[in-house]
Amino acid sequence: MNTYNKNLKWRYATKQFDATKKISEADIASLKEAIQLSASSYGLQPYKVLIISDPKIKEQLKVAANGQQQLVDSSHVVVFANVADLSEKHVASYIENISRTRGMEIEQLEGFSNLMNSVVGGLSEDAREIWAAKQTYIALGNLLSAAADLKIDSCPMEGFDADKVSEVLNLKELNLTPSVIAPLGYRSTQDPTQHYQKVRKPEEELFITI
């Protein structure tokens, strides 16, 4: 845990990436696994994760994100996109996955399936999309921590035009909505932000022990 927290202290929202440095395929595989293992409500994972290294696509994403240079200079850009039309079919697909993975009959999972359909189906369309988008932030947090553990820099960002990002990545055709983006790579030696003291609330202000 000491090493883990030390790595979290090392990470920061990188403002300038070294465009000449690329993340290895082995490390990308590790980061993908960390995202895959992320918690989500019911384990449903109502999202897709796009990992982009194509320079042309990254340049288009920069335009859609108000010119943020990190999108071009980073090694890879990770886009979390929540399901825009979460429905019973997504629950059914998840139930089938549980059945295959755990060797259970679908009938044994009927109660769990009904619970999810009741909760998710009881939300308005807008509330369902907000709920699904929230799940992506859990996965994002896991990605940031896993990247720090590998000494890979990151910069989570929301400052983008969702419609333009959707157009660049053809997300509407996939019934997906981009929720948050995280460029990954290695900090430039010219980035002054890396030398800033990390500012966080003190323990006595942040925590309430009951």
Q: For residues 76 and 72, give the distance between their C-alpha atoms in angstroms, rounded to a whole number.
A: 9
* pLDDT on residue 147: 98
Say what the pTM is: 0.95
Q: Which domains does the chain have, with CATH numbers?
A: 2-38+47-84+140-206 (3.40.109.10)
Identify the CA nearest to 15 among candidates 150, 155, 127, 122. 155
Alpha carbons within 13 angstroms on the beta-carbon side of residue 172 total: 7
In which residue ranges of the chain is pLDDT below 70?
1
Sheet of strand 176-185: strand arrangement: 47-52, 76-83, 176-185, 153-154
* pLDDT on residue 19: 98
* pLDDT on residue 1: 62
pLDDT (tens digit per residue) in 49-97:
999 999 999 999 999 999 999 999 999 999 999 999 999 999 999 999 9
Identify the CA nearest to 175 among candidates 183, 166, 184. 166
CA distance from start to end of the chain: 24
